[in-house]
Structure 1
Amino acid sequence: MIENRELLELFSNVLRKMKKEWSNQLEHGLSPSQYFILKTLKETGPRKATELAEVIQMTPGAITGASDKLVSEGYAERKGTKEDRRVVYLEITEKGKEFVENMNEKQKSVTAKFFEGLSDEDINHLIRIYKQISHNLDGKA
């Protein structure tokens, strides 16, 4: 294990700054969690709160709270099934899809800013490093 204080401080600082930049891109008062809910719904289709909670790693209660605002603002809607009216799915609306597409474009721009000035060699090193970190995290679930 690397005991390098500078590495840990820089890593934390970069994560904090990246999170702030991405959060600054959100509009209409939505939280990052609400954006991730919409993004997941756009990519995977309608989901129950328990399914979203597992995918996004939030509690079902937090999903419900976040979903309430998405529904009230018209970004998502709740739909029951004909088979069992107790089962309710959250589904993204056209307004929600447009929001996600807009955010994806903003994130591309912000992300490009993060890596501005890095050579192709540096980018390839980062890709290798991120893959290893991801692999390390997958192994510790």
Structure 2
Amino acid sequence: MQQEEVIVKAINIISESMRESMRRYKEETQSSKELFNLSITQLHYLHVIKERNNITITELAEIFGVQKSTVTVTVNKLLQCGFIEKLASESDLRVVYVSLTEKGKEIIELEGKGYRQFAAGILAMLNEEEQNTFTFLLNKVINNITRK
């Protein structure tokens, strides 16, 4: 097999394994129901809102490369679920900021716990030297991807 094919196969297997791990995590964790009712897009929004606390609809539209109306639809759904809140700017009432509520922060933390559980499973398959090599290579890939 060509190296590229091996990498593509590995990505697919890891993705499926992670989905299965998250399904099991959902079953084991009572409070995870709301997390799994969110779409990938909604989760992406929550992550960006967490990273850029007090972000505007316009900024979200720029980040995701979509129309403000598209952002508004997703933001309204997240607002209805209680994951985010809107705050009017004190200096300009036309500007509305979006930030996570405590419930939104809890959902992001819950997702992180599921990912950490998956990562622990991967590390358990490797000895210490392999773990160090694997981590080194992942960091190298991530650093190159994020530079673009």
Q: What percentage of residue pairs aligned between the two structures are identical?
A: 26
RMSD: 2.8
Taking the TM superposition and a 5 Å limit, the aligned residue runs for 1:40-79 are 40-53=48-61, 57=64, 59=66, 61=68, 62-79=70-87
Q: Which amino acid aligns with 2:66?
A: T
Taking the TM superposition and a 5 Å limit, the aligned residue runs for 1:1-141 are 3-17=2-16, 20-21=19-20, 24=23, 25=26, 27-28=33-34, 29-53=37-61, 57=64, 59=66, 61=68, 62-139=70-147, 141=148
Q: Which runs of 5+ in 1 are unaligned?
A: none
TM-score by length of 1: 0.74
TM-score by length of 2: 0.71
In the aligned structure 2, how far is the partner of 1:130 from the partner of 1:85?
45
The alpha carbon displacement at 1:120 in A equals 1.4
**Conserved in 1, the CA contact under 8 Å of 2:18 and 2:118?**
no
SS of the equivalent of 1:79 reads: strand
Q: Are residues 122 and 49 of structure 1, via their aligned partners in 2, closer, same or farther at CA, if it must alter by over 3 Å?
A: farther
Q: Are residues 131 and 70 of structure 1, via their aligned partners in 2, closer, same or farther at CA, if it must alter by over 3 Å?
A: same
Q: Are residues 22 and 100 of structure 1, via their aligned partners in 2, closer, same or farther at CA, if it must alter by over 3 Å?
A: farther
**Conserved in 2, the CA contact under 8 Å of 1:23 and 1:32?**
no
Q: Are residues 18 and 60 of structure 1, via their aligned partners in 2, closer, same or farther at CA, if it must alter by over 3 Å?
A: farther
Runs (4 or more) in structure 1 with deviation over 4 Å come to none
Q: Size of the alignment, in residue pairs?
A: 137
Q: Which runs of 5+ in 2 are unaligned?
A: 27-31
Q: Are residues 35 and 21 of structure 1, via their aligned partners in 2, closer, same or farther at CA, if it must alter by over 3 Å?
A: farther
